[in-house]
Amino acid sequence: MAEFYLDLVGYVCPVPLMETKKKFQELAAGDVLVIETEHPRAVRNIMDWAWNEGTDVDVDETANGRWKIVLKK
C-alpha cells in the first residue's frame, strides 16, 4: 500500500476531477490518494464520483476554505 498526493489548490472544475480520475487509475488496490483543494465544487464533484465508483472517501476541512480528500482504492 502506497500513499500518493495531488495538490489541486488553485484549480477549478473540471480540472480537479479530471486529474483525480487520471491519478486514481494509476493506483494499485489498497493505495491511497490524498487530494488537497480549496474549490468547493471540486470537493463535491470528487465525492460524488468516488461514491458512484464505490470508492472509500473521507473529506476533512483542514483550514478555512481548504479540504483534504482521501480516496482508498
Known catalytic residues?
Answer: 13
Distance CA 73, CA 25 (A): 9
With a CB cutoff of 8 Å and minimum separation 6, the contacts of 69 are 34, 35, 36, 37, 43, 46, 47, 57, 58, 59
Report residue 6 as a C-alpha cell. Answer: 495531488
